[in-house]
């Protein structure tokens, strides 16, 4: 029994790295000044891919991360599942590839503006800037 108790106690103990990461998330979340989906660019690859640049500004540093629309959509789905009662902002609609040219500069710019509005509205929700999934999406682990 003693060994079983030891195992249970060990599983409850968090690593120092986890504790430091949580503190860092808390600090950064509280100090985020702005998040902007600043521009869109076509990526160089075999497929036609558009990346949206997200600029993140805190009191101490700034960085940019690049995400495809599908990454935003996956992020939104996770938020919808985890925060059902938060009144999440409206997410830009996904358009059928049959009827929409996803490489049209006008379409790309309209989508960028809608993603920017979504992110701005998201950060108006109290406490959202401290959520681990939000900070992971913004690339805090890399900065």
| pLDDT tens per residue across span 87-117 | 899 999 887 666 777 788 999 999 999 999 9
Q: What is the pTM of this model?
A: 0.75
Confidence of residue 85 (pLDDT cuts 50, 70, 90): confident
Q: CA of 116: how far to CAs of 45, 90, 121, in Å? A: 25, 12, 9
The matching CATH number, chosen from 3.40.470.10, 3.40.1440.10, 3.40.50.80, 3.30.1520.10, for 2-142 is 3.30.1520.10
Q: At what angle do helices 105-122 and 69-82 cross, to 10 degrees?
A: 30
The pLDDT of residue 21 is above 80 = no
């Amino acid at each position: 029994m003693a060994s079983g108790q030891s195992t249970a106690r060990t599983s409850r103990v968090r690593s120092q790295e986890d504790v430091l990461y949580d503190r860092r998330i808390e600090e950064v979340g509280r100090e985020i000044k702005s998040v902007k989906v600043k521009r869109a660019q076509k990526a160089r690859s075999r497929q036609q891919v558009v990346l949206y640049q997200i600029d993140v500004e805190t009191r101490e540093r700034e960085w940019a991360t690049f995400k495809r629309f599908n990454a935003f959509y996956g992020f939104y789905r996770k938020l919808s599942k985890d925060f059902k009662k938060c009144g999440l902002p409206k997410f830009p609609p996904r358009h059928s590839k049959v009827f929409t040219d996803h490489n049209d500069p006008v379409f790309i710019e309209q989508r960028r503006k809608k993603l920017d509005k979504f992110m701005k509205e998201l950060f108006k929700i109290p406490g959202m800037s401290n959520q681990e999934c939000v900070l992971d999406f913004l690339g805090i682990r890399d900065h």
